[in-house]
Protein backbone atom coordinates (compact mmCIF):
# COMPACT_ATOMS: atom_id res chain seq x y z
CA UNK A 1 0.00 0.00 0.00
CA UNK A 2 2.82 2.40 0.80
CA UNK A 3 4.27 1.84 -2.68
CA UNK A 4 0.90 2.67 -4.24
CA UNK A 5 0.75 5.82 -2.13
CA UNK A 6 4.23 6.75 -3.36
CA UNK A 7 3.16 6.31 -6.99
CA UNK A 8 0.30 8.74 -6.48
CA UNK A 9 2.44 11.21 -4.50
CA UNK A 10 4.97 11.29 -7.35
CA UNK A 11 2.27 11.56 -10.01
CA UNK A 12 0.44 14.51 -8.49
CA UNK A 13 3.77 16.20 -7.71
CA UNK A 14 4.29 16.48 -11.46
CA UNK A 15 1.28 18.82 -11.42
CA UNK A 16 2.55 20.84 -8.48
CA UNK A 17 0.30 19.16 -5.89
CA UNK A 18 2.05 18.13 -2.67
CA UNK A 19 0.58 14.78 -1.64
CA UNK A 20 1.28 13.28 1.76
CA UNK A 21 0.54 10.30 3.94
CA UNK A 22 -1.71 10.85 6.95
CA UNK A 23 -0.61 8.84 9.97
CA UNK A 24 -3.05 6.01 10.65
CA UNK A 25 -5.03 6.62 7.44
CA UNK A 26 -4.40 4.93 4.11
CA UNK A 27 -4.43 6.95 0.92
CA UNK A 28 -2.93 10.21 -0.28
CA UNK A 29 -3.77 13.48 1.40
CA UNK A 30 -3.11 17.19 1.06
CA UNK A 31 -2.38 19.58 3.94
CA UNK A 32 -2.26 16.91 6.64
CA UNK A 33 -0.52 19.26 9.06
CA UNK A 34 -3.56 21.56 9.08
CA UNK A 35 -6.37 19.34 10.46
CA UNK A 36 -9.31 21.52 9.35
CA UNK A 37 -7.82 21.81 5.83
CA UNK A 38 -6.71 18.17 5.34
CA UNK A 39 -8.32 16.59 2.30
CA UNK A 40 -8.07 13.20 0.62
CA UNK A 41 -7.21 13.09 -3.06
CA UNK A 42 -6.73 9.32 -3.43
CA UNK A 43 -8.45 6.44 -1.66
CA UNK A 44 -6.90 2.97 -1.48
CA UNK A 45 -8.17 -0.44 -0.58
CA UNK A 46 -7.49 -4.13 -0.37
CA UNK A 47 -9.75 -7.04 -1.28
CA UNK A 48 -9.10 -10.65 -0.36
CA UNK A 49 -11.00 -13.50 -1.98
CA UNK A 50 -10.10 -17.20 -2.10
CA UNK A 51 -6.59 -16.55 -0.79
CA UNK A 52 -5.92 -13.89 -3.43
CA UNK A 53 -5.27 -10.31 -2.42
CA UNK A 54 -5.94 -7.36 -4.72
CA UNK A 55 -4.91 -3.77 -4.09
CA UNK A 56 -6.43 -0.74 -5.74
CA UNK A 57 -6.70 3.01 -5.65
CA UNK A 58 -9.09 5.72 -6.76
CA UNK A 59 -7.32 8.94 -7.67
CA UNK A 60 -9.75 11.82 -7.99
CA UNK A 61 -8.73 13.49 -11.24
CA UNK A 62 -11.81 15.27 -12.67
CA UNK A 63 -14.22 13.75 -10.16
CA UNK A 64 -17.66 15.24 -9.42
CA UNK A 65 -17.13 15.80 -5.70
CA UNK A 66 -20.81 16.55 -4.97
CA UNK A 67 -21.45 12.82 -4.44
CA UNK A 68 -19.19 12.89 -1.38
CA UNK A 69 -21.62 15.29 0.30
CA UNK A 70 -24.02 12.35 0.69
CA UNK A 71 -21.63 9.99 2.50
CA UNK A 72 -18.82 9.90 5.02
CA UNK A 73 -15.96 8.97 2.67
CA UNK A 74 -13.89 6.05 3.95
CA UNK A 75 -15.68 6.43 7.29
CA UNK A 76 -13.49 9.42 8.14
CA UNK A 77 -15.37 12.39 9.59
CA UNK A 78 -14.26 16.02 9.63
CA UNK A 79 -11.99 15.71 6.59
CA UNK A 80 -12.77 16.72 3.05
CA UNK A 81 -12.27 15.02 -0.31
CA UNK A 82 -10.66 16.82 -3.22
CA UNK A 83 -9.61 16.24 -6.81
CA UNK A 84 -6.74 17.27 -9.00
CA UNK A 85 -9.15 19.45 -10.96
CA UNK A 86 -10.34 21.25 -7.84
CA UNK A 87 -6.80 21.82 -6.61
CA UNK A 88 -5.52 23.07 -9.96
CA UNK A 89 -8.61 24.87 -11.22
CA UNK A 90 -8.77 23.16 -14.60
CA UNK A 91 -9.80 19.83 -16.14
CA UNK A 92 -6.98 17.39 -16.75
CA UNK A 93 -6.35 14.95 -19.56
CA UNK A 94 -7.00 11.60 -17.85
CA UNK A 95 -4.85 9.67 -20.34
CA UNK A 96 -1.92 11.93 -19.53
CA UNK A 97 -2.40 11.28 -15.80
CA UNK A 98 -2.62 7.52 -16.50
CA UNK A 99 0.70 7.61 -18.38
CA UNK A 100 2.38 9.36 -15.46
CA UNK A 101 0.93 6.76 -13.06
CA UNK A 102 2.28 3.95 -15.27
CA UNK A 103 5.71 5.57 -15.38
CA UNK A 104 5.90 5.79 -11.60
CA UNK A 105 4.44 2.28 -11.17
CA UNK A 106 7.19 0.87 -13.38
CA UNK A 107 9.83 2.77 -11.42
CA UNK A 108 8.57 1.83 -7.94
CA UNK A 109 7.87 -1.84 -8.71
CA UNK A 110 10.74 -2.20 -11.23
CA UNK A 111 8.55 -3.80 -13.91
CA UNK A 112 7.92 -3.35 -17.62
CA UNK A 113 4.57 -3.75 -19.31
The domains of the chain, with CATH numbers, are 2-109 (3.30.930.10)
Please report the pLDDT score of residue 76 as a whole number. Answer: 67
Please report the pLDDT score of residue 95 as a whole number. Answer: 98
Percent of the chain with pLDDT over 70: 91
Three-state SS letters, 21-81:
EECCEEEEEECCCCCCCCEEEEEEEEEEECCEEEEEEEECCCCCHHHHHHCCHHHCCCCEE
Residue 42 bears catalytic tag: no
**Choosing from 17, 43, 65, 74, which is the catalytic residue?**
74
Torsions phi, psi of 62, nearest 5? -115, 40
Please report the pLDDT score of residue 32 as a whole number. Answer: 92
Amino acid sequence: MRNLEEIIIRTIAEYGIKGERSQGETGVWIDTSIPHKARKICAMGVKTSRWITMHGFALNVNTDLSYFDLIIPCGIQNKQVTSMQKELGYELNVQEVEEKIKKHFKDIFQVNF
